Amino acid sequence: MRRNSIVLIVVVFILAIFAWAGWANWEYRKQAAEKQQAAAPQGVLVPAPGTGAPEYVSPLNGRPAPAFALENLSGSKISLASYKGKAVMINFWATWCGPCQVETPWIVELRDKYAAQGFEVLGVDTEGDDLQPGDKAGWAKAETSANKYVREMKVQYPVLLDGDSISNEYGGLDDLPTSFFVDRNGKVVAASVGLTSESDIEGNIKKALAE
Amino acid sequence: MSRINWHRNWAWIALLGFAGLAAAIAHGQFVSKSPRNDSPIKTEAVQYLFPAQVSVPAGKPSPVILHFRVAQGLHINSHTPSDQFLIPTDFSISEGVGVRLGAATYPPGTIISLAFDPNTKLSVYTGEFAIQARIEATPGNHLVQAKLHYQACDQNQCMPPKTIDVPIDVIGK
Protein backbone atom coordinates (compact mmCIF):
# COMPACT_ATOMS: atom_id res chain seq x y z
CA MET A 1 0.00 0.00 0.00
CA ARG A 2 2.83 2.35 0.96
CA ARG A 3 4.73 1.51 -2.24
CA ASN A 4 1.63 2.32 -4.28
CA SER A 5 1.32 5.73 -2.65
CA ILE A 6 4.96 6.54 -3.43
CA VAL A 7 4.54 5.52 -7.09
CA LEU A 8 1.38 7.61 -7.31
CA ILE A 9 3.15 10.66 -5.90
CA VAL A 10 6.07 10.20 -8.30
CA VAL A 11 3.74 9.87 -11.30
CA VAL A 12 1.76 12.95 -10.31
CA PHE A 13 5.01 14.85 -9.81
CA ILE A 14 6.32 13.84 -13.26
CA LEU A 15 3.03 14.77 -14.88
CA ALA A 16 3.05 18.14 -13.10
CA ILE A 17 6.63 18.84 -14.26
CA PHE A 18 5.81 18.10 -17.86
CA ALA A 19 2.52 19.95 -17.79
CA TRP A 20 4.51 22.95 -16.55
CA ALA A 21 7.14 22.38 -19.27
CA GLY A 22 4.45 22.30 -21.95
CA TRP A 23 2.85 25.45 -20.61
CA ALA A 24 6.22 27.25 -20.35
CA ASN A 25 7.08 26.30 -23.92
CA TRP A 26 3.70 27.50 -25.20
CA GLU A 27 4.19 30.82 -23.35
CA TYR A 28 7.70 31.16 -24.81
CA ARG A 29 6.46 30.58 -28.35
CA LYS A 30 3.60 33.01 -27.89
CA GLN A 31 5.91 35.72 -26.62
CA ALA A 32 8.46 35.09 -29.39
CA ALA A 33 5.72 35.34 -32.03
CA GLU A 34 4.42 38.57 -30.48
CA LYS A 35 7.95 40.01 -30.40
CA GLN A 36 8.50 39.09 -34.04
CA GLN A 37 5.22 40.69 -35.07
CA ALA A 38 5.99 43.81 -33.07
CA ALA A 39 9.36 44.13 -34.80
CA ALA A 40 7.68 44.14 -38.20
CA PRO A 41 4.76 46.56 -38.00
CA GLN A 42 1.97 45.37 -40.25
CA GLY A 43 -0.27 47.70 -42.20
CA VAL A 44 -4.01 47.35 -42.45
CA LEU A 45 -6.51 47.91 -45.22
CA VAL A 46 -9.19 50.47 -44.40
CA PRO A 47 -11.93 51.92 -46.62
CA ALA A 48 -10.66 55.04 -48.40
CA PRO A 49 -12.61 58.21 -47.63
CA GLY A 50 -15.11 58.88 -50.41
CA THR A 51 -14.61 55.81 -52.59
CA GLY A 52 -14.79 53.15 -49.88
CA ALA A 53 -12.13 51.13 -51.75
CA PRO A 54 -9.58 49.39 -49.51
CA GLU A 55 -6.60 51.66 -48.82
CA TYR A 56 -3.34 50.56 -47.22
CA VAL A 57 -2.57 52.29 -43.96
CA SER A 58 0.93 51.66 -42.70
CA PRO A 59 1.76 51.89 -39.00
CA LEU A 60 4.71 53.99 -40.18
CA ASN A 61 2.35 56.76 -41.29
CA GLY A 62 3.16 59.94 -39.37
CA ARG A 63 6.41 58.47 -38.05
CA PRO A 64 9.99 59.07 -39.18
CA ALA A 65 10.95 56.79 -42.04
CA PRO A 66 13.33 54.11 -40.71
CA ALA A 67 16.91 55.04 -41.56
CA PHE A 68 18.95 52.94 -43.98
CA ALA A 69 22.11 53.00 -46.05
CA LEU A 70 22.28 50.55 -48.96
CA GLU A 71 24.57 50.06 -51.91
CA ASN A 72 23.43 51.28 -55.29
CA LEU A 73 24.10 49.51 -58.58
CA SER A 74 27.56 51.12 -58.75
CA GLY A 75 28.50 49.89 -55.29
CA SER A 76 28.23 53.27 -53.51
CA LYS A 77 26.40 53.54 -50.19
CA ILE A 78 23.30 55.70 -50.38
CA SER A 79 21.51 56.70 -47.18
CA LEU A 80 17.98 57.95 -46.76
CA ALA A 81 19.33 60.64 -44.44
CA SER A 82 21.20 62.26 -47.32
CA TYR A 83 17.81 63.17 -48.88
CA LYS A 84 16.63 65.23 -45.93
CA GLY A 85 14.93 68.34 -47.25
CA LYS A 86 13.55 66.46 -50.24
CA ALA A 87 10.30 64.55 -50.64
CA VAL A 88 11.18 60.93 -51.28
CA MET A 89 9.27 57.96 -52.64
CA ILE A 90 10.83 54.71 -51.39
CA ASN A 91 9.70 52.13 -53.91
CA PHE A 92 10.36 48.49 -53.02
CA TRP A 93 10.31 46.36 -56.16
CA ALA A 94 11.80 43.27 -57.80
CA THR A 95 12.44 42.22 -61.36
CA TRP A 96 10.15 39.17 -61.02
CA CYS A 97 7.21 41.35 -59.94
CA GLY A 98 4.78 41.94 -62.83
CA PRO A 99 2.88 44.81 -61.18
CA CYS A 100 6.24 46.51 -60.52
CA GLN A 101 6.94 46.39 -64.26
CA VAL A 102 3.65 48.16 -64.88
CA GLU A 103 4.19 50.98 -62.39
CA THR A 104 7.90 51.62 -63.06
CA PRO A 105 7.31 53.72 -66.23
CA TRP A 106 4.77 55.82 -64.28
CA ILE A 107 7.30 56.38 -61.51
CA VAL A 108 10.01 57.33 -64.04
CA GLU A 109 7.62 59.86 -65.58
CA LEU A 110 6.43 61.31 -62.24
CA ARG A 111 9.96 61.61 -60.94
CA ASP A 112 10.86 63.75 -63.98
CA LYS A 113 7.72 65.81 -63.51
CA TYR A 114 8.33 66.65 -59.83
CA ALA A 115 12.13 66.56 -59.57
CA ALA A 116 12.39 70.35 -59.86
CA GLN A 117 10.15 70.73 -56.78
CA GLY A 118 12.57 68.69 -54.68
CA PHE A 119 11.26 65.17 -55.26
CA GLU A 120 13.35 62.02 -55.59
CA VAL A 121 12.64 58.30 -55.90
CA LEU A 122 14.72 55.61 -54.26
CA GLY A 123 14.06 52.30 -55.95
CA VAL A 124 14.91 49.52 -53.51
CA ASP A 125 15.41 46.13 -55.11
CA THR A 126 14.19 43.27 -52.91
CA GLU A 127 15.26 40.62 -55.36
CA GLY A 128 16.81 38.03 -53.12
CA ASP A 129 14.23 37.19 -50.51
CA ASP A 130 14.92 33.46 -50.73
CA LEU A 131 18.66 33.79 -51.35
CA GLN A 132 21.06 32.66 -48.64
CA PRO A 133 23.76 35.19 -47.63
CA GLY A 134 26.50 32.86 -48.92
CA ASP A 135 24.87 32.26 -52.31
CA LYS A 136 27.30 34.39 -54.32
CA ALA A 137 26.10 33.13 -57.70
CA GLY A 138 22.48 33.81 -56.74
CA TRP A 139 23.24 37.36 -55.61
CA ALA A 140 25.34 38.06 -58.69
CA LYS A 141 22.48 36.85 -60.90
CA ALA A 142 20.02 39.01 -58.98
CA GLU A 143 22.25 42.07 -59.45
CA THR A 144 22.60 41.36 -63.17
CA SER A 145 18.81 41.10 -63.48
CA ALA A 146 18.37 44.38 -61.60
CA ASN A 147 20.87 46.14 -63.89
CA LYS A 148 19.12 44.81 -66.98
CA TYR A 149 15.70 45.82 -65.67
CA VAL A 150 16.90 49.34 -64.86
CA ARG A 151 18.38 49.75 -68.35
CA GLU A 152 15.28 48.45 -70.11
CA MET A 153 12.93 50.59 -68.02
CA LYS A 154 15.15 53.67 -68.48
CA VAL A 155 15.24 54.26 -64.73
CA GLN A 156 17.19 57.43 -63.90
CA TYR A 157 16.65 57.54 -60.13
CA PRO A 158 18.95 55.77 -57.62
CA VAL A 159 18.35 52.04 -57.38
CA LEU A 160 19.55 50.37 -54.20
CA LEU A 161 20.20 46.69 -53.62
CA ASP A 162 19.43 44.26 -50.78
CA GLY A 163 16.12 45.76 -49.75
CA ASP A 164 15.44 42.54 -47.84
CA SER A 165 17.90 43.68 -45.18
CA ILE A 166 15.55 46.53 -44.20
CA SER A 167 12.25 44.74 -44.80
CA ASN A 168 11.45 44.30 -41.09
CA GLU A 169 11.74 48.02 -40.42
CA TYR A 170 9.33 48.65 -43.30
CA GLY A 171 6.62 46.23 -42.22
CA GLY A 172 7.90 42.93 -43.58
CA LEU A 173 7.39 43.67 -47.29
CA ASP A 174 5.36 40.51 -47.78
CA ASP A 175 4.04 41.79 -51.09
CA LEU A 176 5.43 43.90 -53.89
CA PRO A 177 5.32 46.59 -55.04
CA THR A 178 5.29 48.51 -51.76
CA SER A 179 5.96 52.25 -51.59
CA PHE A 180 6.43 54.76 -48.80
CA PHE A 181 6.14 58.51 -49.36
CA VAL A 182 8.37 60.58 -47.11
CA ASP A 183 8.06 64.33 -46.65
CA ARG A 184 10.91 66.86 -46.51
CA ASN A 185 11.28 66.30 -42.76
CA GLY A 186 11.79 62.57 -43.15
CA LYS A 187 8.29 61.63 -41.99
CA VAL A 188 6.17 58.97 -43.73
CA VAL A 189 2.99 60.61 -45.03
CA ALA A 190 1.56 57.78 -47.14
CA ALA A 191 2.18 54.19 -48.17
CA SER A 192 0.81 51.75 -50.70
CA VAL A 193 0.99 48.01 -51.25
CA GLY A 194 0.27 46.43 -54.61
CA LEU A 195 -0.41 48.14 -57.88
CA THR A 196 -2.49 51.28 -57.53
CA SER A 197 -2.81 53.82 -60.34
CA GLU A 198 -0.57 56.54 -61.68
CA SER A 199 -2.93 59.16 -60.28
CA ASP A 200 -2.82 57.54 -56.81
CA ILE A 201 0.98 57.61 -56.89
CA GLU A 202 0.92 61.25 -58.02
CA GLY A 203 -1.50 62.10 -55.19
CA ASN A 204 0.91 60.59 -52.66
CA ILE A 205 3.87 62.46 -54.20
CA LYS A 206 1.93 65.71 -53.76
CA LYS A 207 1.28 64.82 -50.10
CA ALA A 208 5.02 64.28 -49.60
CA LEU A 209 5.87 67.58 -51.30
CA ALA A 210 3.33 69.58 -49.28
CA GLU A 211 4.79 71.20 -46.17
CA MET B 1 -1.00 -13.61 -7.51
CA SER B 2 -4.71 -12.93 -7.15
CA ARG B 3 -6.70 -11.67 -10.10
CA ILE B 4 -7.30 -8.27 -8.36
CA ASN B 5 -3.58 -7.74 -7.76
CA TRP B 6 -2.82 -8.67 -11.35
CA HIS B 7 -5.30 -6.03 -12.60
CA ARG B 8 -3.91 -3.45 -10.17
CA ASN B 9 -0.35 -4.01 -11.38
CA TRP B 10 -1.41 -3.62 -14.99
CA ALA B 11 -3.22 -0.40 -14.08
CA TRP B 12 0.01 0.96 -12.60
CA ILE B 13 2.00 -0.07 -15.68
CA ALA B 14 -0.56 1.62 -17.92
CA LEU B 15 -0.41 4.77 -15.76
CA LEU B 16 3.39 4.81 -15.90
CA GLY B 17 3.26 4.24 -19.66
CA PHE B 18 0.90 7.19 -20.01
CA ALA B 19 3.22 9.32 -17.85
CA GLY B 20 6.15 8.32 -20.07
CA LEU B 21 4.22 9.23 -23.20
CA ALA B 22 3.17 12.58 -21.75
CA ALA B 23 6.78 13.19 -20.73
CA ALA B 24 8.04 12.42 -24.23
CA ILE B 25 5.50 14.75 -25.84
CA ALA B 26 6.17 17.55 -23.39
CA HIS B 27 9.92 17.09 -23.79
CA GLY B 28 9.57 17.22 -27.57
CA GLN B 29 7.78 20.55 -27.24
CA PHE B 30 10.22 21.93 -24.72
CA VAL B 31 13.38 21.31 -26.75
CA SER B 32 12.07 23.05 -29.88
CA LYS B 33 12.66 26.50 -28.51
CA SER B 34 12.81 28.48 -31.73
CA PRO B 35 9.54 30.03 -32.83
CA ARG B 36 8.05 28.45 -35.92
CA ASN B 37 8.99 30.12 -39.16
CA ASP B 38 5.63 29.70 -40.79
CA SER B 39 3.33 32.59 -40.19
CA PRO B 40 0.17 31.69 -38.34
CA ILE B 41 -1.78 34.02 -40.60
CA LYS B 42 -0.43 33.46 -44.10
CA THR B 43 -0.96 30.11 -45.73
CA GLU B 44 1.33 28.72 -48.42
CA ALA B 45 0.53 29.86 -51.95
CA VAL B 46 1.24 26.33 -53.18
CA GLN B 47 0.42 23.09 -51.42
CA TYR B 48 1.70 19.63 -52.27
CA LEU B 49 -1.23 17.25 -52.47
CA PHE B 50 -0.10 13.69 -53.28
CA PRO B 51 1.29 11.00 -53.52
CA ALA B 52 2.92 10.70 -50.11
CA GLN B 53 4.44 7.32 -51.03
CA VAL B 54 5.49 5.75 -54.34
CA SER B 55 6.97 2.40 -55.30
CA VAL B 56 9.32 2.26 -58.27
CA PRO B 57 11.45 -0.54 -59.74
CA ALA B 58 14.94 -0.09 -58.24
CA GLY B 59 17.54 1.28 -60.63
CA LYS B 60 15.04 2.07 -63.37
CA PRO B 61 13.85 5.63 -64.15
CA SER B 62 10.09 5.60 -63.60
CA PRO B 63 7.42 8.27 -64.05
CA VAL B 64 5.75 9.63 -60.95
CA ILE B 65 2.99 12.21 -61.15
CA LEU B 66 3.07 14.82 -58.39
CA HIS B 67 -0.01 16.91 -57.70
CA PHE B 68 -0.01 20.47 -56.35
CA ARG B 69 -2.59 23.13 -55.67
CA VAL B 70 -2.22 26.91 -56.01
CA ALA B 71 -4.29 28.84 -53.47
CA GLN B 72 -7.44 30.49 -54.75
CA GLY B 73 -6.95 33.97 -56.19
CA LEU B 74 -3.24 33.40 -56.80
CA HIS B 75 -1.21 32.24 -59.78
CA ILE B 76 2.38 31.10 -60.13
CA ASN B 77 4.53 31.28 -63.23
CA SER B 78 4.63 28.15 -65.34
CA HIS B 79 7.92 26.38 -65.99
CA THR B 80 8.26 28.51 -69.12
CA PRO B 81 7.12 32.01 -68.19
CA SER B 82 6.47 34.53 -70.92
CA ASP B 83 8.86 37.16 -69.61
CA GLN B 84 12.63 36.93 -69.06
CA PHE B 85 12.41 38.45 -65.57
CA LEU B 86 9.73 36.09 -64.25
CA ILE B 87 10.75 33.14 -62.09
CA PRO B 88 9.83 29.71 -63.48
CA THR B 89 8.28 26.99 -61.36
CA ASP B 90 10.93 24.37 -60.83
CA PHE B 91 10.94 20.93 -59.20
CA SER B 92 14.15 19.38 -57.86
CA ILE B 93 15.49 16.52 -55.75
CA SER B 94 18.78 16.86 -53.86
CA GLU B 95 21.55 14.51 -54.88
CA GLY B 96 22.72 11.76 -52.57
CA VAL B 97 19.48 10.53 -51.01
CA GLY B 98 19.25 7.30 -52.98
CA VAL B 99 16.79 8.90 -55.35
CA ARG B 100 17.71 10.75 -58.53
CA LEU B 101 15.52 13.00 -60.65
CA GLY B 102 16.04 12.07 -64.28
CA ALA B 103 13.77 14.67 -65.80
CA ALA B 104 10.62 16.56 -64.99
CA THR B 105 7.81 17.23 -67.42
CA TYR B 106 5.77 20.30 -66.60
CA PRO B 107 2.27 21.06 -67.79
CA PRO B 108 1.87 23.93 -70.24
CA GLY B 109 0.86 27.14 -68.51
CA THR B 110 -2.54 28.72 -68.85
CA ILE B 111 -2.27 32.02 -70.71
CA ILE B 112 -3.83 34.87 -68.78
CA SER B 113 -3.85 38.66 -68.77
CA LEU B 114 -4.28 40.68 -65.64
CA ALA B 115 -6.67 43.59 -65.30
CA PHE B 116 -3.87 46.07 -64.67
CA ASP B 117 -2.05 45.14 -67.89
CA PRO B 118 -4.40 43.53 -70.44
CA ASN B 119 -1.79 43.58 -73.22
CA THR B 120 0.70 41.35 -71.43
CA LYS B 121 0.13 37.61 -71.65
CA LEU B 122 1.36 35.48 -68.76
CA SER B 123 1.91 31.73 -68.72
CA VAL B 124 0.79 30.55 -65.29
CA TYR B 125 -0.51 27.71 -63.16
CA THR B 126 -3.69 28.20 -61.16
CA GLY B 127 -5.75 25.73 -59.13
CA GLU B 128 -4.44 22.16 -59.34
CA PHE B 129 -1.53 21.16 -61.55
CA ALA B 130 0.69 18.09 -61.87
CA ILE B 131 4.36 17.58 -62.66
CA GLN B 132 5.59 14.28 -64.05
CA ALA B 133 8.96 13.44 -62.54
CA ARG B 134 11.07 10.53 -63.83
CA ILE B 135 12.82 9.24 -60.75
CA GLU B 136 15.33 6.50 -60.18
CA ALA B 137 15.76 4.93 -56.74
CA THR B 138 18.20 2.49 -55.22
CA PRO B 139 16.63 -0.50 -53.41
CA GLY B 140 15.04 0.35 -50.07
CA ASN B 141 12.97 3.07 -48.45
CA HIS B 142 13.96 6.69 -49.03
CA LEU B 143 12.19 9.64 -47.42
CA VAL B 144 12.88 12.35 -50.00
CA GLN B 145 12.45 16.05 -49.31
CA ALA B 146 12.07 17.21 -52.90
CA LYS B 147 11.66 20.94 -53.53
CA LEU B 148 9.31 23.10 -55.54
CA HIS B 149 10.51 26.63 -56.27
CA TYR B 150 7.88 29.12 -57.39
CA GLN B 151 6.83 32.74 -57.27
CA ALA B 152 3.21 33.68 -56.70
CA CYS B 153 1.15 36.78 -57.45
CA ASP B 154 -2.46 37.86 -57.35
CA GLN B 155 -4.11 40.52 -59.51
CA ASN B 156 -2.17 43.44 -58.02
CA GLN B 157 0.80 42.24 -56.07
CA CYS B 158 3.46 39.58 -55.92
CA MET B 159 4.94 37.55 -53.10
CA PRO B 160 8.66 36.78 -52.90
CA PRO B 161 9.89 33.59 -54.55
CA LYS B 162 9.61 30.58 -52.32
CA THR B 163 10.80 27.00 -52.08
CA ILE B 164 8.55 24.44 -50.40
CA ASP B 165 9.33 20.90 -49.33
CA VAL B 166 7.70 18.06 -51.23
CA PRO B 167 7.97 15.05 -48.90
CA ILE B 168 7.73 11.73 -50.74
CA ASP B 169 8.45 8.27 -49.38
CA VAL B 170 10.09 6.50 -52.34
CA ILE B 171 10.34 2.73 -52.17
CA GLY B 172 12.81 1.14 -54.58
CA LYS B 173 11.81 -2.50 -55.18
Per-residue pLDDT 10s for chain A (211 aa) are 677 788 788 878 888 888 887 777 777 766 665 555 455 444 554 555 554 455 667 889 999 999 999 999 999 999 999 999 999 999 999 999 999 999 999 999 999 999 999 999 999 999 866 677 788 888 888 889 899 999 999 999 999 998 888 988 998 888 999 999 999 999 999 999 999 999 999 999 999 999 5
Nearest CA in chain B to A94: B160
**Does residue B70 contact residue B45 with C-beta atoms inside 8 Å?**
yes
Do A51 and A34 reside in the same domain of the chain?
Answer: no
Do A24 and A98 reside in the same domain of the chain?
Answer: no
Length of chain A counted residue by residue: 211
Q: Test B162 with A126 for CB contact under 8 angstroms.
A: no
Work out the minimum CA distance from B74 to partner chain A, whole angstroms: 12
Do A164 and A203 reside in the same domain of the chain?
Answer: yes
- Distances in Å between the Cα of B12 and the Cα atoms of B19, B20, B149 are 10, 12, 52
Report the distance separating Cα B70 and Cα B76, nearest Å. Answer: 7
Q: How many domains does chain A have?
A: 2
Do A22 and A52 reside in the same domain of the chain?
Answer: no
**Does residue B30 contact residue A25 with C-beta atoms inside 8 Å?**
yes
Do A58 and A130 reside in the same domain of the chain?
Answer: yes
Do A29 and A100 reside in the same domain of the chain?
Answer: no
Q: Test B86 with A98 for CB contact under 8 angstroms.
A: yes
Work out the minimum CA distance from A76 to partner chain B, whole angstroms: 25
pLDDT in tens, B79-94: 999 888 999 999 999 8
- What proportion of chain B, given as a percentage, has pLDDT over 70? 75
User: Which of A126, A121, A123 lies closest to A111 in space, CA to CA?
Assistant: A121
Contact list in A for residue B15 (CB cut-off 8 A) is: 11
Do A17 and A106 reside in the same domain of the chain?
Answer: no
pTM over 0.90: no
pLDDT in tens, B153-168: 998 999 999 999 999 9
Do A35 and A73 reside in the same domain of the chain?
Answer: no
Q: Does A101 touch chain B (CB under 8 A)?
A: yes
Report the distance separating Cα A100 and Cα B114, nearest Å. Answer: 13
Which CATH number characterizes residue A81's domain? 3.40.30.10
User: CATH homologous superfamily for B46-172?
Assistant: Thiol:disulfide interchange protein DsbD, N-terminal domain (2.60.40.1250)
* Cβ-Cβ contacts under 8 Å for A41 (sequence gap 6 or more): A58, A59, A60, A171
Rg of chain A in Å (alpha carbons) = 24
Count of other CB atoms within 10 angstroms of residue B46: 22
Range of the domain at A109: 46-209
Do A109 and A178 reside in the same domain of the chain?
Answer: yes
Do A10 and A69 reside in the same domain of the chain?
Answer: no
Do A82 and A159 reside in the same domain of the chain?
Answer: yes
Contact list in B for residue A177 (CB cut-off 8 A) is: 157
Do A87 and A175 reside in the same domain of the chain?
Answer: yes
Contact list in A for residue B116 (CB cut-off 8 A) is: 99, 102, 195
